Structure 1
Amino acid sequence: MERKLAWEDYSKEDMTKVYEFAEGYRKFISECKTERECVTEFVARAEKAGFLNLADAIKTGKTLRAGDRVYVNNMGKWLAMFVVGNENLENGMNILGAHIDSPRMDIKQNPLYEDTGLAMLDTHYYGGIKKYQWVTLPLALHGVIAKKDGTTVKVSIGDKPEDPVFGVSDLLIHLSGEQMEKKGAKVIEGENLDLLIGSIPLPSDDEKEKEQAKDAVKANVLRILEETYGVCEEDFLSAEIEIVPAGAARDYGFDRSMIMGYGHDDRVCAYPSFEAILNMDKPERTSVCLLVDKEEIGSVGATGMQSRCFENAVAEVLNLTGTYSELSLRRALQNSKVVSSDVSAAFDPNFPSVMDKKNAAYFGKGIVFNKYTGSRGKAGSNDANAEYMSQMRKIMDNNHVFFQTAELGKVDQGGGGTIAYILANYGMQVIDSGVPVLNMHAPWEIINKADLYEAYKGYIAFLKEA
């Protein structure tokens, strides 16, 4: 079944809206390259839009009524936003759930060392990556360093024009005969993804001191860190510093119809989900935007979807509406409907053999619905009910949203998962729906602006009508 390109249907006014929305998103992913930075930005914007911190509402004993807006910020890396609806919360919620973590490299807890006059940072990669894609690129450092005195130092270096950048070196082609014979998974080993960060030894006026100095280049880096951030080497033990591609997201193609950037998976779905909930004003059913961490490593931990943070947040909201009971909480969760807002693999003409063309996602044809994900025999999948898929089709068509359906590649080729199956554990109706992406999990991914805009329209339609 052939789906029409959204671009073919757009008026000049539509085109303006598409490009304006995409520009806002391009700036967002250029500035927010970690889950912490995403939450900080979203919270600031949410408060301007009238959202109240749920913790403050609990302290003051505020009663929540239809139209009230609250948010929960969990450890600065997980965010849930609620717009209370006219219906009793026990009847369920309409939930947009996306993740805001992306594949990257993290520095280890004892990362700093010197080798042959070069200062290096030892790393551990995060999420599913092709390791060879991360060498010879300009890289930036983003994150926090928590000091023993209770203060937290923010680190962001490599993205301003005046900043230095960092990188992982690769073997020169002249000496890479053995390397080129290796399989792709072994061309670059995980322990070889160490970051080069300096080469000047600590200055000294004493010649004897210079000769006796051990790891003088490392010492000079530590001096710079102390002068710039007020931290010492031991502070790395309580640091969360992520290594990400340096530079802003850019318009892609002569027609500027696409965006190349880091972290489209899954911020390209998180951003329109956030924008969609800002449009909710006294919805019939309570609207929720849920943005979580750790999806790329199994949704584990206190800020992952497998934690009970969302369940606890719903319980608190129920309590402030005066309707809490354990049974009401169970009903509110089970009666909810969810769009698991996550990306899909776009068809790539360079690699057609891994895709089933009849069931692939294409650039420019709108938001993608994946009835099921998983791998091979649908392992690890949430498989949405036919009735729920039918409802989504009707909502999209009624609101003139361009949509398409897809699977993640040919049946035996591989696969992947999302947070959908975790929410489905509550008995919710859940389906995956998001934006198709080229180069998924690479340092620089590509999306189509039309698909981004149609996702935004589709998410608004879902929150209002599901």
Structure 2
Amino acid sequence: MDTAGFNKELLSFLQASPTAYHATSEMARRLTDAGFVALDERDSWNLEAGKKYFVTRQDASIIAFTTGNGEFARHGFRMAGGHTDSPALKVKPNPEMTGKGYFQLGVEVYGGPLFSTWFDRDLSLAGRVTFKDESGVLRNALVNFEKAIAIVPSLAIHLNREANTGRNINPQKEFPPVLGRLSKDEKADFRQILIEELAKNGDKAASVLDFELFFYDTQAPAIIGLNDEFIASARLDNLLSCFTSMQAMIDAGDSEYPTLLVCNDHEEVGSNSATGAQGPFLRQVLERICGSSEALTRAMQNSVMISADNAHGIHPNYADKHDGNHGPMLNEGVVIKINAKQRYATTSETSSLIRDLYAKEDLPIQAFVGRTDMGCGSTIGPLTASELGVRTLDIGLPTFGMHSIRELAGTEDAVALAKVLTRFFKTESVIPH
């Protein structure tokens, strides 16, 4: 796929994926179209060599894998990983607020968003709703209002003269979005609104029991820049990696060697869940594939995990926030992420592997190490490495505005990484001798 075609599909994926639930659903659809067979964790699996499969957990995490020649212990897995969730505003269970006749919803902060970027944006709402249908059966359904239904208005500078000098944002007080006006005797009933929204999609709900819903920015992803250098979108962290890794696995076709992609939920809030990287999902799937504890251990020692999560591109207005020798540039290649405190899981073995793969594709590559006097984020990489004992590499595509409601990446970087990951998925030997 050429760069323009790749980025067109990427933007389509981003637009279809306002939440982790929708991202997982969209990945499942694309994998199905590519010949992958859906598995159910509740069923017995009868896996065959040379086949392609995927499995989802709780609608928000997904693992896709190919069995290759079926010699898992001998050849291991070529694995890639990312996460499906992004920072957002999540609706509270009893959210209705009616101050001064305005209909608002109470929210809590999910992850670590850049607070200031959530003001004055056209917001919609999406996620998962659990309801009882007209027969009394409990069901789940995904909802997406799609159109702009809410906004978090800023306070005018005339009423806050310090707005541009030292603003402290109180999320409890300042973040409840405004959805509309209520008439004098009108009562807000958010669950009834959800029943009506479900009905638009053919889901007849007698009552809504609960929900996991997130506000998101309705502005569509776009290619921008004088020469179309940049991708501007919400949720590039980390759907950019999820799409790129998935597309590489699809492009690798019927690789002779086993491959695996895992995209976990809850990375932005610590990964400690049934669907997160610190939970049992990946290990349990690998145990079922390998068939025994010994086979799994042998397989992991012949495997490499590439954890792909966004990297901080050096910002021209804040260049002093980077180490002078490690300032990644947009459109100059993927970034190897290194940290002495194991916030990233990269080793000399795994970094050498990716350097070699990039060299074979004649593509540029970069490295990131944070300033010694500053803290460092983390990824699913160290969690996966410590859980499975697998050699792990942390990489990322350079971006601006990480955790903003709208982030920025280069148009050349993702397609280049997809080419390299495709080669990785088809590589015979991934472990240095």
Question: Is the pair's TM-score, using the shorter chain for normalization, greater than 0.5?
Answer: yes
After superposition, where does 1:111-190 map in structure 2 within 5 Å?
A: 111-148=95-132, 149=136, 150-157=138-145, 159=146, 163-177=147-161, 182=166, 184=167, 186-190=168-172
Which is worse superposed, 396-405 or 244-253?
396-405
Contact 2:314 2:329 in 1 (8 A): yes
For residue 397 of structure 2, the aligned residue among 435, 460, 464 is: 435
Cα–Cα, structure 1 residues 252 and 464, in superposed 2: closer, same or farther, change >3 Å?
same
Contact 2:123 2:218 in 1 (8 A): yes
Secondary structure at 1:461's aligned position in 2?
helix
- Whole-angstrom CA distance in 1 between matches of 2:119 and 2:188: 22
For residue 311 of structure 1, the aligned residue among 283, 287, 295 is: 283
Secondary structure at 2:248's aligned position in 1?
helix
Partner of 2:260: 288
Cα shift readout 1:142-197 (whole Å, capped 9, x = no counterpart): 1122113413343212x3xxx34311122110010355564x5x234344210111
For residue 417 of structure 1, the aligned residue among 339, 359, 378 is: 378
Cα–Cα, structure 1 residues 17 and 228, in superposed 2: closer, same or farther, change >3 Å?
closer
Contact 2:84 2:238 in 1 (8 A): yes
Partner of 2:176: 194
Secondary structure at 2:328's aligned position in 1?
coil
Partner of 1:13: none
After superposition, where does 1:283-432 map in structure 2 within 5 Å?
A: 283-318=255-290, 324-370=291-337, 372-373=338-339, 378-407=340-369, 409-425=370-386, 426-432=388-394
After superposition, where does 1:212-291 map in structure 2 within 5 Å?
A: 213=185, 216-218=186-188, 224-229=193-198, 235=208, 238-291=210-263
Cα–Cα, structure 1 residues 278 and 198, in superposed 2: closer, same or farther, change >3 Å?
same
Contact 1:30 1:247 in 2 (8 A): no
For residue 25 of structure 1, the aligned residue among 6, 10, 32 is: 10
Contact 2:328 2:335 in 1 (8 A): yes
Q: Answer with 1 or 2: which has the greater Rg.
A: 1
Cα–Cα, structure 1 residues 190 and 463, in superposed 2: closer, same or farther, change >3 Å?
farther
Partner of 1:459: 421
Contact 2:343 2:376 in 1 (8 A): no
Cα shift readout 1:338-389 (whole Å, capped 9, x = no counterpart): 110111001110111101232111011111111x24xxxx445234221332
Cα–Cα, structure 1 residues 190 and 410, in superposed 2: closer, same or farther, change >3 Å?
farther
Residue 399 of structure 1: CA displacement?
Answer: 2.3
Contact 1:119 1:217 in 2 (8 A): no
Secondary structure at 1:387's aligned position in 2?
helix
Partner of 1:7: none
Root mean square deviation, CA, Å: 2.3
Residue 400 of structure 1: CA displacement?
Answer: 2.1
Cα–Cα, structure 1 residues 56 and 79, in superposed 2: closer, same or farther, change >3 Å?
closer
- TM-score when normalising by structure 2: 0.90
Higher percent of residues as helix? 1
Contact 2:16 2:26 in 1 (8 A): no
Cα–Cα, structure 1 residues 43 and 180, in superposed 2: closer, same or farther, change >3 Å?
same
Cα–Cα, structure 1 residues 147 and 400, in superposed 2: closer, same or farther, change >3 Å?
same
Contact 2:195 2:205 in 1 (8 A): yes
Contact 1:382 1:424 in 2 (8 A): no
Cα–Cα, structure 1 residues 112 and 380, in superposed 2: closer, same or farther, change >3 Å?
farther
After superposition, where does 1:34-73 map in structure 2 within 5 Å?
A: 34-55=19-40, 59=44, 62-65=46-49, 67-73=50-56
Cα–Cα, structure 1 residues 389 and 144, in superposed 2: closer, same or farther, change >3 Å?
closer
Cα shift readout 1:75-121 (whole Å, capped 9, x = no counterpart): 11111111112261013211011111111110011111211101110
Residue 55 of structure 1: CA displacement?
Answer: 2.9
- Whole-angstrom CA distance in 2 between matches of 1:265 and 1:271: 11
Which is worse superposed, 46-55 or 136-145?
46-55
Amino acid of the residue matched to residue 257 of structure 1?
A: E
Instruction: State whether structure 2 residue 67 is matched by structure 1 residue 106.
Output: no
Structure 2: any 5+ residue segments left out of the alignment?
none
Residue 226 of structure 1: CA displacement?
Answer: 4.5
Structure 1: any 5+ residue segments left out of the alignment?
1-15, 202-209, 319-323
Which 4+ residue blocks in structure 1 deviate beyond 6 angstroms? 231-234
Q: Percent identity?
A: 24
Contact 1:367 1:458 in 2 (8 A): no
Contact 1:84 1:282 in 2 (8 A): no
- Whole-angstrom CA distance in 2 between matches of 1:79 and 1:225: 26
